[in-house]
Amino acid sequence: MNQRFNAEKYREGILKRDRVMLAKAITLVESSLPSDQQIASDLINYLLPYTGNSVRIGITGVPGVGKSTFIEAFGKHVIAQGKRVAILTIDPSSQVTRGSILGDKTRMEELVRDRNAFIRPSSSGEKLGGVANNTRESILLCEAAGFDIIIVETVGVGQSETSVKNMVDFFLLLMLAGAGDELQGIKKGIVEMADALVITKADGDNERKASEAMAEYQQALHFGMQKSSDWSTKVLKCSALTNQGIDSVWQTILNYTEKTKTSGYFSTNREQQNIAWMADQFQFLLSNDFKKFETIQKLNTSLKEQVARLKLSPATAAIKLLNAYHEAIKSLK
């Protein structure tokens, strides 16, 4: 069982850049125990003045695109520029298999040993907003621990990408040359919300295909919608094995950061993300509170059966459920 401390003890260790204490604090914020949640809440409030100074980068792509290899090469390059890098891996299946997370840490052999790097697996969990809740808090903890670059990696392309997009400053989509959108499972919306597309494995016999794919995506994105950030999605290619193109990816992120900070979009986007976080957290708490009433859960089951059999409209059932919840709340007063 992990040892628990008070919020002040965690705060002290994190501000001293103690990576062991940082790991323990992330375990704390991921806990569902009410006592841990209270300590975690106090800790985050203590650390808020020390957060916000990083660049948050979301990285996604289907399995096989080479995310771990890319992140290690990219992380080493950024550290060479004098930065500290924290990597949070989101894995929807980690609670069951834990395999891919351990695989990621194994593949990043050099980065995991670097004192200026921190790699942490983070399960998406089963609760509503699980990815967003835990990961957002983990980002703040890493920032308070002095990490300049926070990378949030997702394992596949799906709903988690939308969640991650809403908690990072720069969203990076890794692509394979010649695989085709359908083969890669890439949704158009994912491509459109990316700030950069990077064609990976652009080396050897694959370099020509990567160049062709790069040109095709540049042409396609030319007719895309204008982003609110006034930033045009960039298309790049790289080889994590030879390190070719890694510096261009880093420079692109620097250019984006400079442009959006100058325009004011960077800070405005962060503010909107914080407000969205509050709304997500409220929905999560409300859902949990709703589940506490056994009578309402029985009513919920009954209403679902009636809706399924067309005995009651979904709208009417929802109103009945809401009214029952209000009555249950009143009975507590």
Domain at 215, CATH number: 3.40.50.300
User: 301 and 162, same structural domain?
Assistant: no
SS3 string, the chain, reads CCCCCCHHHHHHHHHCCCHHHHHHHHHHHHCCCHHHHHHHHHHHHHHHHHCCCCEEEEEECCCCCCHHHHHHHHHHHHHHCCCCEEEEEEECCCCCCCHHHHHHHHHCHHHHCCCCEEEEEEECCCCCCHHHHHHHHHHHHHHHCCCCEEEEEECCCCHHHHHHHCCCCEEEEEECCCCCHHHHCCCHHHHHHCCEEEECCCCHHHHHHHHHHHHHHHHHHCCCCCCCCCCCCEEEECECCCCECHHHHHHHHHHHHHHHHHHCHHHHHHHHHHHHHHHHHHHHHHHHHHCCCHHHHHHHHHHHHHHHCCCCCHHHHHHHHHHHHHHHHHHCC
pLDDT value at residue 96: 45
Q: What is the pLDDT of residues 10-38, one digit of tens each?
A: 999 999 999 999 999 999 998 888 899 99
Tell me which residue range forms the domain holding 24. Answer: 1-50
Whether residues 29 and 114 share a domain: the answer is no
Read off the pLDDT of residues 71-113 as tens digits, 9 standing for 90 and up. 999 999 999 999 999 999 876 554 444 444 444 555 688 898 9
Average the pLDDT over 232-246 and give the result.
93
Statement to judge: residues 180 and 78 lie in one domain: yes
Q: In this predicted structure, which of 126-135, 236-245, 268-277, 279-288 has the lowest mean pLDDT?
A: 126-135
Total domain count for the chain? 3
> Is residue 320 predicted with pLDDT exceeding 70?
yes
287 in a structural domain: no
Whether residues 103 and 141 share a domain: the answer is yes
Residue 164 included in any domain:
yes
**pTM: predicted TM-score of the whole model, two decimal places:** 0.88
196 lies in the same domain as 327: no
Lowest-confidence pick of 9-23, 39-53, 124-138, 289-303 = 124-138
- Same domain as 60, residue 45: no
Residues 174 and 309 both lie in one domain: no
Name the average pLDDT for the chain: 86
Question: Does the residue 285 lie in any domain?
Answer: no
191: confidence class by pLDDT, cuts 50, 70, 90: confident
